Structure 1
Amino acid sequence: MAWTVLSPSEISARLRGALRRYLPGTDALVWPNNLTAIVKTVAAGLHDMHLRAAWLYEQIFATTASVQHLERHGAELGIYRRPMARAEGVVTLNGYADTIYPAGIAFIAGNRLYHSISDARSDLAGLLTLTILSDDYGVATNIAAGETVERADPTQFPNLELEATVASGGIGGGADTETDASLRARILDRKRRPPQGGAYSDYEQFARAVPGVIQAWAFPFADAPGTVGVWFLFEGRENGIPEAGDIALVQDALEARRLIRAGLSVSAPIPSPLTITIANLAVDTVQTRAAIAASIAAMLVRRARPGVASAPFTLSRSWISEAISLAVGEDRHFLIDPSGDITYVGGEMPVLGTISYV
């Protein structure tokens, strides 16, 4: 049970009762006498002690600990807040053929600055491939594959193109500082599922320790008997679906910690848009429709995961209807599509698609 904090009045009443028992012939309720003042003074001090004890009681548990002591809970288990991280990836552009370009070539995307991190030689057609690293930290430094970045100093290497294209792996790995809620969830998960020498929960915890990873799942027999497959979501990506650069980052982190005997594959979930058709919406307004979309999206974040052959995922139709009913402004509806539960395999994972109203 929770610690109960008594009010000064409640403490005073108990102290007055104690005085009656231990000092026969006295009564702290009769005014004027010094016992009333003594009782009130002692009650005020004891109330402060009750408040302190209630605060200490909360710090004992990771579920209720304040930020400072939450981090201490984590440190005792070897779990620390994920720091901010910089984004890294590959870009291509054209220059002189068979020419070495030094590290430090600057690029800009929006108001973010990036620099190439090593020397590189263009091929015989003049195509130059550079690995660039963001100067800033955070999820905002990630750039999707196919986007362009501009040269920050066009006067440097005038033979180089002014724009570079982000390669298929994207520029990824940039992450914000881990939130309190995420840190608390990882600490509680570690307490509930302690290390077991290579259990699937261990792989999930290894992945979630990588900056930017917001959720991870591990399943057996991903490629063959004896192999482990890990699927994960990454912050700042559309629907959380990681790109190749994010996958490489998590793959390297897991390779450094996994058991030698287990084969490992790290993959991005395959997004499968969920098409929904709703009829007879009683309060059909823009606000209600927006609330329904937000409620369904939140439900998918809580419940959805990739489905694989060894562990298919079934999305219950009732979950969708429940999410619609929970939306602010919704009073009554009829869910037409989907008409039943949906099962996902092959790494597919449901994401919110089109919602139609009839």
Structure 2
Amino acid sequence: MPYQQPTLSDLQAQGLNDIVATNITQGRALFPRSVLRALTWCFANLTWGNYDFLASCYRQAVPFTATDEALDGWGAMREILRKDATAATGTVQFTGATPQKPLPMGTVIMRADGLDYITTADAAADATGTLSAPVTCQTTGATGNCDAGIAFSLLTAISGLPAQGVALAAFTGGADMETDSEYRTRVLAAYASRAGGGRQDDYVEWAEDVAGVTRAWCNPNGFGPGTVVVYFMMDDAEAANGGYPQGTDGGAADETRYAPATGDQLTVADAIYPQRPATALVIACAPTPCPIDVTVRNLSPNTTAQITAMETALADLFYREGTPLGMTLAQSDIEDALLSTGASFTMVSPAGPTDIPVGSLPSVGAVVPA
């Protein structure tokens, strides 16, 4: 049974009872402003502070309950470091510029809500007056991600360039610093494993150590003997793309036996390359979505909000149960997820188990009330 720490009220009451028990007051009650009453409250507060300090020490004594820098210390002992926040990147497009007008690297461009970005390469307007400049958010975190078409403006006016521009495509790559809960999961997994020998779990841990990676799976011999295929997802950093990594599948930049990856896949492949067993050919891959359409009859309530809730429930199911290593989704699992929204209906399709091929993840398709 866990130790029950006394509350401040318990300690104050105990102190007053002890005073009465010593018969100092000769049976008389203490006055509201009695010095003894004030001293009792003072010592009760001091004692409670000691209890609280000891409780804090106990929490930091094991990685299961440790927090903040203590949890960082436990993770560092197993070479599991907290993931730093990353900055979002994208392209801002200006139209109506003077042809060939340059925009130098290091120019600050401000998003409509006041968030600053900086150009990462020199750019120049083409013959039609369109200028596209790559930018990086100066504030790390998911707040730097945004949708295509969001308004941007030059922080300082430049002659020959319009003041207003837009995001050419969705900005991605921004991820918040790993929370205690997320980090603790990786730390505990590291302590529970015997890492370092190139086991299947090792590749998962190495991939999840990369900033932005939230889930990973290892398929040994996935592309033939001697190969190790690592699938991964970036649910926050690539939220605009459904969490799917952006780039091409392949090996590390220093791998000579396979075409090198690009984009997010190259980042993960390069991170795993120096840690893998010397002969393993590691290929970093993005799963492909496998949409699952659902049809129901006699849906009640048959509203847009209800259908949205059902889509959210399915997305949660696929997030928890999905794997690109090949799986079968039971029809009852899909039906239970839909029922959790409080709706009543008759399931039409899928009418049986749904097979998800290797390399694919189940994703939400169309939810159609028949």
Normalised TM-score (structure 1): 0.71
Alignment of 1:227-242 (within 5 A): 227-234=227-234, 235=236, 236-242=239-245
* Distance apart, 1:270 and its partner CA: 0.7
- C-alpha separation in 2, matches of 1:91 and 1:200: 41
RMSD value, Cα: 4.7
Q: Which residue of 1 aligns with 2:210?
A: 210
- Bigger Cα displacement from structure 2, 86-95 vs 336-345: 86-95
- C-alpha separation in 2, matches of 1:82 and 1:217: 19
- C-alpha separation in 2, matches of 1:64 and 1:156: 54
- C-alpha separation in 2, matches of 1:285 and 1:90: 38
Contact 1:122 1:128 in 2 (8 A): yes
Indicate the SS of the match to 2:333: helix
- 1:333 maps onto 2:345 in alignment: yes
**Cα distance change on mapping 1:83 and 1:224 into 2, 3 Å:** same
Indicate the SS of the match to 1:266: strand
**Cα distance change on mapping 1:193 and 1:166 into 2, 3 Å:** farther
* Distance apart, 1:273 and its partner CA: 1.6
Percentage of pairs with the same residue: 27
The one-letter code sitting in structure 1 at the alignment partner of 2:198 is G
Where do 5+ consecutive residues of structure 2 fail to align?
Answer: 26-39, 248-262
Normalised TM-score (structure 2): 0.69
Number of residue pairs matched by the alignment: 331
1:268-326: CA deviations, max 9, x gaps?
111122211223445555554443332222122111122xxxx3122222221222232
Q: Which residue of 2 aligns with 1:65?
A: 66
- C-alpha separation in 2, matches of 1:356 and 1:280: 11
Q: Which residue of 1 aligns with 2:195?
A: 195
Indicate the SS of the match to 2:366: strand
- 1:323 maps onto 2:337 in alignment: yes
* Distance apart, 1:258 and its partner CA: 3.3
1:62-105: CA deviations, max 9, x gaps?
333344533332233222321111234678999978x9986335
The one-letter code sitting in structure 2 at the alignment partner of 1:186 is R
**Cα distance change on mapping 1:36 and 1:300 into 2, 3 Å:** farther
1:210-246: CA deviations, max 9, x gaps?
2221111121123332111122111133321121233
- 1:305 maps onto 2:323 in alignment: yes
**Cα distance change on mapping 1:56 and 1:113 into 2, 3 Å:** closer
Q: Which residue of 2 aligns with 1:34?
A: 22
* Distance apart, 1:248 and its partner CA: 3.2
Contact 2:112 2:152 in 1 (8 A): no
Contact 2:172 2:240 in 1 (8 A): no
Alignment of 1:14-29 (within 5 A): none
- C-alpha separation in 2, matches of 1:154 and 1:231: 43
Alignment of 1:106-185 (within 5 A): 110-111=112-113, 112-118=115-121, 132-142=135-145, 152=154, 156=158, 158=160, 172-185=172-185
Contact 1:173 1:249 in 2 (8 A): no
**Cα distance change on mapping 1:141 and 1:50 into 2, 3 Å:** closer
Q: 1:345 aligns with which of 339, 345, 357?
A: 357
Indicate the SS of the match to 1:213: coil
Where do 5+ consecutive residues of structure 1 fail to align?
Answer: 16-28
Q: Which residue of 1 aligns with 2:35?
A: none
Q: Which residue of 2 aligns with 1:277?
A: 295
Contact 1:81 1:178 in 2 (8 A): yes
